[in-house]
């Protein structure tokens, strides 16, 4: 089941602290010098840049955010029935693999 407004649902869940941080993202945050607070603080800048409606467990979305240390991407799964989100992973996008504004994958 998919929300009508995926980014709106994600933002609402973050603002209401309806978030599960996966084991995977908890491992990656420290490795990539990205904090939970940076993700939370960037909520107003979130935009969905890719959709994965048939993802393994739940529909998920690649979200672009702008934090104090730069632009990051987060994969966020939506549990509409459970009224929460799961932050799966987060990373700083590679300039070679993404367009200059980090919204589109490069064709190279």
For 23-76, the pLDDT digits (tens) are 999 999 989 989 999 999 999 999 999 999 999 999 999 999 999 889 999 999
Report the predicted TM-score, pTM, of the whole model to 2 decimal places.
0.93
| Size of the chain in residues | 108
Expressed as residue numbers, the domain containing 11 is: 6-91
The region, left, alpha or beta by phi > 0 then psi within -120 to 50, assigned to residue 102 is left
How high is the pLDDT of residue 108? 57
Which CATH number goes with the domain that contains 13? Answer: 3.30.2310.40
| 69 assigned to some structural domain | yes
Average pLDDT, the chain: 94
| Domain total in the chain | 1
Which is more confidently placed, 97 or 1?
A: 97
How high is the pLDDT of residue 39? 96
| 107 assigned to some structural domain | no
| 66 assigned to some structural domain | yes
| 99 assigned to some structural domain | no
CA distance 10 to 76: 8
How high is the pLDDT of residue 1? 73
């Amino acid at each position: 089941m998919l929300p009508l407004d995926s980014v709106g649902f994600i933002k609402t869940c973050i603002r209401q602290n309806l978030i599960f941080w996966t084991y995977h993202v908890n491992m990656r945050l420290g490795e990539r010098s990205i904090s939970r607070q940076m993700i939370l603080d960037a909520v107003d800048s979130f935009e969905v840049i890719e959709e994965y409606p048939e993802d393994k467990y739940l529909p998920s979305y690649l979200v672009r955010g702008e934090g104090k240390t730069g632009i990051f991407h987060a994969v966020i799964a939506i549990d509409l029935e459970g009224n929460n989100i799961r932050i799966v992973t987060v990373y700083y996008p590679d300039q070679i693999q993404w367009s200059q504004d980090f919204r589109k994958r490069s064709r190279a």
